[in-house]
Every structure is written in structure tokens, then in C-alpha cells.
Chain A
């Protein structure tokens, strides 16, 4: 079981409050992703849950038991660090065995768990190597293996993929999701990469300056962002945010429209503009279009076959049903 409840949890370093009082419930078996820009307090929040930092106020409950003042080892959580934090002088086998050795598990039980973890993570051939002899992806798997064998109530991941190259990251992303489906254990995952958040999460928690901006499933966040920050943060490429006269026409301070909800035409439409840079991905093409009277260029998604070149004049028409409207405080107008 791994139900984690944060009740008015607060964290301050000296006079600086990094996390104002915050409530959050992570259900058992859920894959929760904390996402936000650098310095938003997401790693601190994870370390508070892990017990590596003391809370300045509030209560942390794990399975209804107060864990606020428990030392990290007693919380029954396992953590995978950004740097993997493998013990360099121990072989992979000893690294994975370390938490079990500390818990004083019998030798044959240790062996059994190491074998099954190694098999699940494709590490069987590397058990007697030192971490220094492994590639980044393999080290990552060893770190996960070390977490699995403890059979924890929940896994905590602190930006585990940020040191891997792009191709490996996609692979590891799938492996971790796969692992979650198989183990059905609670996982809390911290990342600044919203693609990771969208692809892996059951529930995304968007953080900014220690505040929770929105909690919800990936599609909820994508389709109904609660405010301008979430609208701009979730989705790649970013949602186009338009202020000024055009927004006022729709009765809002800011309007947002995603690149795929703009129709591009060479004959006529709502907004006239000029093609800037185009990015060809094969399946899709993204055009950056400068529209007269708008501050920033708009990003438009078109199918891969559309061919327009730099400087061409085009017209853009927003899909009214998918237009997001935000008020002066940046909150969504329903």
C-alpha cells in the first residue's frame, strides 16, 4: 500500500519560503508526476516526502500513519536519484543487495530478489560489473533495481532521465511506465520535461514557485488548463497566447489556441500573416507565422505535405471551439 497525503506541508530555508502550505493526496498505485520549471520546488517537495529534508510545518502521512518525523529509512519509500547515486566501489550485485543487506534479509531471499530484478531490468549479464563500466541507461536500471528489491510502498524518482540522451530517454520512459503497470506500486516522479509528464502520468501536478497550479490527468490539463501558466507549460509546441485587442474581442484578457487548432490557408481567413521559420518533422510541419498586430509569432501545425516557404502570405483561422479564454488574473473563463 502506498497512499501519501500531504497536509498543509510547508518548507522554508531560513526566511525564504520555497513551499507555501500545500495539500496533496497521492492515491495507492497512482503514477503522479510533479512538473514545473527549474526552481519551482518540485525536487524539494519530493525530498520532503522522502524525508531527506525536514518539513517546516504540516503533516505527511503514508498509509494514514503520520510519517512527518520518521527518518527516511523508516518510511518504506525507495528513491531513484538524478545522478543515480550508485556506490562506485561495489559491483552491480552488491549495489542492488545493499538495501536488503541493511535490512538484514536472509541471504537466499536476497539472491532471489536480485535475480528477479536483474531479469526484469535486463541486467543479468552485468551483475558482476562495477557501475563505472556501465552505460548511462544501464546505470539507470541498476538504480531502479536497487529501488525495486526493497519492495517499497512507493517509488520516488528525481529527474531520473535528465542525464540520458534523447533516444535512450524515450526507451527508459517506456520501461518505467511498463514497470509501473506490472508492479502497480505508487510512483512519484519529478521532471521539468512536460513530454515525460504527459506520456507517463496518471496524474500531473503542475508546480510554480512552490504552489500547485493544477492537478489532473494529462488530458484534463491539456484540454482545460486552469490558468495561463498551465496553458503555456503543458503541450509541445506551446499554446499560442494572444493578448490585446484580439483577446478583448473574445471577452478575455488573454486567449490561447493550440497549434493544431489553427487552420492555415493561402486564400483567406481570420488573421493575415507571413510565414517565418518552418520546422519539418515529416508527419507534421510547424510554421511560425508573424501576424500583424500580434506581439509574438504564432505556431501552426499543418500536415507534412503542406509546402509553404519563408515570406509567403497566409491566413490563419482559429477553431472557435478550442479557444481558451483567460481573465486579467490569468484564470480560465469557463
Chain B
């Protein structure tokens, strides 16, 4: 890529791919933007008209919006806390030499391969069901009243299910990071008189900072758009107790047939996601430098 000539031809040759990607991104985005300014209801086809910011006003003043916003934040933060802390603990365990290490490591990754709908249904019907679920049986065996997870603590239950799915990812990334730690550093710290807990705090945790950043960034992207788990377990309910932004937009456009309102919600979600992204990069992005 040294000469002007080769730079030119390189640009020429990657341009089809760039244009395709640009179109792929820009067309849906501009259509969403366009729809968000229309009064567009699927029950009244052909009667679309420009309404300015009305859709936004309705969406942002909807009490469900604030509930959904709060639920989204709780879901993302809750899952991040569980997966990062749990991931570090699991990675520390799996880093120890033990019999059958290889197989155990593969098994740990397994939940990541189960598709979200399936795992949420398994959790709902086989574990959390208040009559037939494993937890209900366990409670009854102990003489306790079975707990109806999905109606009594819907958001916490969904946080649990999603955490279970993402824990392997966090564990895997953190385990590889832990394995790349120079053993001599730990030995040096040991000679320096640091007991295990201080070696963890002063040597291992700073070494893991970059991996934790990667886990948080990647998971946040996916956790902002959790949908299938909610759809198959609680349907966003009871009320709006487990509705997040993604689910609210789905309800608006496909259950209430209000494409305009749904599009306005989509635009709001994009803006919020970008705000989150900017804050995240500001706060922890510096860990990725150098």
C-alpha cells in the first residue's frame, strides 16, 4: 500500500463491499426514521400521513416507556454483575489443574450453544414452573411453599436465565486471560510476601482488566436487545414488570399494529444505545489501549 497508485486501486476494490454494507445499514435506518414521522397503522393501510413528532411524544410519555427503560438497565447491569463476578470465580476454578479438565472446560461452554428460546423454555417449564419445576419439587421436599419465579420475580428470573447463557462466554474470555498471566509475576508476588487474596487483587485482577472490558462491551451490545427470553417466558408481564425496550417496541409495532410508534421507539432505542456506548467507552475503553 505504499504508492499512490496501489492505494487508489485498493480503495476501488474494497468500494463494492463498503457500499453494500453502507446500503445495508442506511436503508433500514432511514426507513425507520421515515416511518417514525408517519401516522402508520397496519389496520388502516393507505392512510399514512405525516404527523411530525407525535409518535415520539406518545412513546416517550407512555408510562410503559419508563418501566421498560428501567427494566432494560436492570437487566443489562444485573447480567453483567452476575457474569463478570461468576465468570472470574469460574475461571479461577477452571485454571486449577484437576482430573478431566479438558472435558469440564468444554461442558462449561455448552450453555452458550443452546439457543435462547430453547434455554428460556427449559428454564421456564423444567426449573421454574411452580407445579412441575425442579425448584418447586426441591422446595416441597424441604417442606417449603413453591415459589412462582416468573410471576413473583419476573425480571430477576429473566436476569437469571440470561446470566446462565452468558456466563460461559465471560468464563471463557476470562480463563484465557488468566492463562496468559506470567507465572513468574505470581511467584515474584509470593516472594514479596503477598498472600493469595492480595495476589489476586494486585496482580490477577489488574491483568484481567482488559478481558473484563471486552466482556462488558460485547455483552452490553447483546443484552440491550434481549428479546426471545422475554417472549417465551413472561411476555413482558405481569403488566410491564419484565418489559424491556426491545420488547416494548415489538408490542407497539406488531401487537398494536402501530408501525409509526414502533419506529419512533426504535429511534429512541438507537439513541439510548449510543449514549450507553459513549459512556462505556469513556469509562472503561482506556483499558483497551496499548
Contact = CB atoms under 8 A, between A and B. Distances in A.
Interface of A: 50, 52, 71-73, 77-79, 81-83, 85-90, 98-99, 102-103, 132, 146, 150
Given A72-B191, A98-B194, A150-B192, 9 more contacts: A72-B187, A73-B190, A73-B191, A83-B182, A85-B185, A85-B188, A89-B206, A102-B194, A103-B193
| B interface bracket (residues with beta carbon within 8 Å of A) | 10 to 19
A25 to B, nearest CB: 22
A122 B185 CA distance: 23
B202 interface: yes
Given A81-B187, A89-B207, A98 B202 contact: yes
Contacts of A102: 192-194, 198
A52 B187 contact: yes
14 contacts: A72-B187, A73-B190, A73-B191, A73-B194, A79-B187, A81-B184, A85-B185, A87-B206, A89-B207, A98-B194, A98-B202, A102-B194, A103-B193, A146-B192
Contacts of B82: none
Nearest to B187: A52
Given A102-B198, A132-B290, A87 B203 contact: yes
Nearest to B190: A72
B67 interface: no
A98 B190 CA distance: 11
Nearest to A52: B187
Kindly list the 4 A-B residue pairs having the minimum CB-CB distance in the complex, ordered from nearest.
A73-B193, A85-B188, A99-B192, A85-B184
A99 B195 CA distance: 11
B189 interface: yes
Give the interface SS of chain B, mostly helix, strand, loop or mixed.
helix
Contacts of B193: 73, 99, 102-103
B182 A85 contact: yes
B194 A52 contact: no
Contacts of B188: 79, 81, 85, 87, 146
B202 A87 contact: yes
Contacts of B290: 132
Nearest to B209: A89
A71 B209 CA distance: 29
A76 to B, nearest CB: 10
Contacts of B192: 73, 98-99, 102, 146, 150
A82 B184 contact: yes
Q: Which of B192, B194, B202 has the most CB of A within 10 A?
A: B192
Contacts of A78: 191
A83 B191 contact: no
A99 B198 CA distance: 11
Given A89-B206, A98-B202, A102-B198, A79 B189 contact: no
A77 to B, nearest CB: 7
Contact of A52 (B191, B202, B207): B191
A81 B151 CA distance: 59
Contacts of A77: 191
Nearest to A74: B193
